[in-house]
Structures are given as C-alpha cells and as structure tokens.
C-alpha cells in the first residue's frame, strides 16, 4: 500500500515528535543525541534551502501569469473589476480580523524557542513614525528588479511582477498584430516556465516527509515540551478566527451589498461547502460550486463561469488569514512583538501570496515562507506549521470556496441593479 503525501508527512511528523521527545530526555553530551541532531540539522536546512530556492521565481511567474490571464476576459471588463475589488475587500477584512484576534490572544507569547536564537539576533522591530514608515515602505517597493531577484527581496519582486503583468495584458491585446504576437509569445514562455517550476515544487515536496522528520526531531529535542500545548492553542485559535470570517464577515458583506439572507445563501451553497471541507481543494469543488451558484443561488451563468474559476485560484481568504496569524504566532514564539509597520507588511504580503500563487500543489508552504521572510522571521518555523497544515486546510478551504460564491452572488446582483 502506497501512502499519499499528506499521510507520509503525518507519519513523519509523528515519528519526528516521538524521536525528538526521546532525545529531549537524553544527556546533552550523549554521542547518539549529538549525531542525530547533526544529521537532522543538515537534512532540515537542505529542505528549507530548496524551498527558498524556488520561492522568488515561483512567486514572480505566478503573479505575472495570473494577471496576464485576465486578458482573455477583456469583454467582461466590468465583471473582473468587480471581482478583483471584492476579492481584495474580503481578503483585507480577513487580514484585519486575523491580526487583531491573534494580537489580542498572543498564542505562544510565554514560550521562547532557542531554535530561533540566531534569527532573533538579526531581528529588529524598530519604532517609526507614520511618515518614516511610509517613506521606508515605498523605498522598499521600488528597486532594480534584477537586484531584488538576486537578493531575494520579495516585495519589490512582487511589485515588478504586477507592473509586468499589466503591461503584458496591454501588449497582448494591442491593435498592432506584430506587437500582440510578441506579447503572446512572451506569455507562452512564462506559462512554460511556470509549468517547469510547478514540476520542481513537486520534486521538492517528495522530500517533505524527510524534511519534516528532521526539523521536528531537532525542534522537539531542543525545546520545552510545552510547545505541544501551545500548538493546540494555535489550532483552536485559527479555527475560531476562520469560523468568524465565514459565519460573520462574509455573510455580512453579502447582506451589505445584496440584502440577501445568510441562511438563504448557506442553504444554496451547503453541498459545495461540505465538499470543500472534505476535499480541502477549491479546484476539486469547482464543478459543484458552479452548480450551486447557478441553480440554487440564481447567479448568471456567464458571471459564475468567470468569477468562480478565477476565485478558486486567486481568492483565498482562509489561506491569507491563516498565514497572517501564523506569522504573528512565530514572532511570539521568538519572544518578539511585531510593530504596526511590520504587521502591515505581513498583511500586504499575505494578501499578495493568496492572490499571486494560484493552483500550485503544496504552494501554501512556499507562500508561508514568503510571508515569514517579509518581516525577517525564520523560514525554519515551517517545522512547526507543516504538521498542522492539513488539519487547518479543511476549514480554510471551505471559507475560500464560500468567499468565491459570495463574490459571484454580489457581482451578479450588482450587474442587475
């Protein structure tokens, strides 16, 4: 019997926790403990470095291709403008809710992990005035893209990718046949590059169980066992925040724009939401989402046919909410409080990550590193987050699908008014 990747990661996580727990009780000068931790450090760092290697090119191509794909819907310009506007609004609400509640609860605030001591030495949360923050933030956004790519600076790469994507839309839809053909040729090349990067991600993910085993062994062997209780607290917190967004915020936006009852929406969308929860896949739920939207919620077929497929890859409220909350959680584990400026950067990066890396298998791990590194947090923290990712993926996928369906109802209603 061959286990799937999720099961392999789960087994590796259990074995890593068990081995780390055993080594935690072994004397520090034990040769066995030193040798196991030595190899665990090498394997874990190798896995993290592979993820870092793929991060920048993956994010860059994903954003450019995602924006350029809009060119095929120019005849429905109003629809996609409404769609993008609603996607940004709902994701922004998810971010604010996540950061506010996580900042209030402070999960892991009383636990400081020695594993991240080196990262803490380079971490700073400098206090700045509003004007100083704006000046520094804008300066960090616009710089030589080649330098940003080489230095691994994520935000300027994202900004350049957005500009390039918009320019590609304009060039590919140019009235000049020669210019349009060149734009389409460049777009085809980017799609081919993205396909190759996705293949590389699949290769790297084959090593995920080994990487998780090594990272968790190192983590549990050197840390306080209170970490397990803290992880349970964080899981409960993310579930609560995600439910609040799905039960209060999204239905509230639906009622605000359409005056339609949340109960009416839930009755019509229930099959799709249950399927999303069970499969943890927006793409797999898409056929059922289209059926529910058109037959139960009265969404126009052309609107549903555009908004839901785009939303399944570019509108991920639950994912963005989780990544923002996880970034604060990691900061608290390091014994640090992110400044307001850094929380704004986390919010923007998580929003971009949820919009900019559509349809890539296991891309959540890569984009999580993007969010962590945007404010200097250690990429090694995914050792803590990956084992619980599958548990949280159920509820956040259901909320992702709910956000898409709410958007389709709102946009269809706005077009009729």
Domain boundaries, the chain: 5-416
pLDDT in the model for residue 302: 74
Q: For position 224, what pLDDT does the model report?
A: 57
pLDDT at 284: 64
pLDDT score recorded for residue 94 = 92
Residue in the block written with tokens 């320019």:
167
Q: Return the axis-axis angle of helices 382-416 and 226-244, rounded to nearest 10°.
A: 0
**What is the pLDDT, as a whole number, of residue 242?**
95
Regions of the chain short of the pLDDT cut 50: 73-75, 120, 123-130, 357-362
State whether residue 73 is helix, strand or coil.
helix
Helix axes 340-356, 130-141, angle to 10 degrees: 30
Q: Which pLDDT score is estimated for 244?
A: 95
Q: What is the pLDDT of residue 75?
A: 44
Q: What is the pLDDT of residue 177?
A: 80
Q: Enumerate helices (H) and strands (E) in the chain, giving the number of each.
A: 18, 0
| 3-state DSSP assignment of residue 127 | coil
Identify the CATH assignment for 5-416 out of 1.10.3470, 1.10.10, 3.30.40, 1.10.3860.
1.10.3860
Query: Among 321, 380, 274, which Cα is nearest to 49's?
Result: 380
Q: What is the rounded distance in angstroms from the CA atom of residue 383 to the CA atom of residue 381?
A: 5
């Amino acid at each position: 019997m061959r286990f799937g990747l999720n099961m392999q990661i789960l087994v590796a996580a259990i074995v890593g926790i068990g081995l780390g727990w055993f080594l935690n009780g072994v004397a520090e000068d034990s040769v066995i403990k030193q040798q196991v931790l030595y190899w665990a450090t090498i394997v874990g760092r190798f896995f993290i470095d592979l993820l870092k290697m793929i991060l920048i090119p993956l994010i860059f191509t994903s954003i450019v291709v995602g924006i350029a794909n809009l060119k095929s819907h120019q005849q429905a310009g109003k629809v996609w403008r409404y769609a993008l506007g609603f996607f940004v609004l709902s994701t922004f609400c998810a971010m604010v809710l996540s950061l506010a509640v996580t900042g209030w609860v402070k999960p892991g605030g009383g636990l400081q992990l020695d594993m991240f001591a080196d990262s803490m030495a380079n971490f700073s949360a400098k206090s700045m005035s509003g004007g100083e923050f704006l000046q520094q933030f804008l300066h960090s956004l616009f710089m030589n893209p080649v330098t940003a790519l080489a230095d691994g600076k994520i935000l300027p790469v994202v900004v350049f990718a957005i500009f390039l994507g918009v320019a590609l839309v304009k060039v590919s839809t140019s009235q000049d046949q020669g210019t349009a053909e060149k734009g389409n040729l460049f777009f085809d090349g980017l799609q081919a590059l993205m396909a190759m990067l996705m293949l590389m991600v699949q290769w790297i993910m084959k090593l995920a169980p080994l990487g998780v085993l090594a990272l968790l062994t190192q983590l549990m062997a050197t840390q306080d066992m209170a970490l397990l209780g803290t992880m349970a607290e964080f899981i409960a917190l993310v579930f609560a925040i995600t439910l609040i967004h799905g039960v209060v915020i999204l239905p509230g936006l639906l009622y605000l724009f359409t005056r339609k009852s949340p109960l009416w929406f839930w009755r019509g969308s229930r099959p799709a939401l249950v399927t999303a929860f069970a499969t943890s896949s927006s793409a797999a739920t898409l056929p059922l989402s289209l059926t529910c939207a058109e037959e139960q919620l009265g969404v126009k077929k052309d609107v549903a046919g555009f908004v839901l497929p785009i939303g399944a890859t570019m509108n991920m409220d639950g994912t963005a909410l989780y990544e923002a909350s996880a970034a604060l959680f990691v900061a608290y584990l390091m014994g640090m409080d992110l400044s307001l400026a850094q929380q704004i950067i986390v919010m923007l990066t998580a929003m971009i990550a949820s919009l900019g890396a559509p349809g890539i298998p296991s891309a959540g791990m890569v984009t999580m590193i993007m969010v962590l590194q945007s404010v200097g947090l250690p990429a090694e923290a995914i050792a803590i987050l990956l084992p619980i990712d599958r548990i949280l993926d159920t509820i956040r996928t259901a909320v992702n699908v709910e956000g898409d369906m709410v958007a389709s109802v709102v946009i269809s209603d706005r077009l009729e008014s």
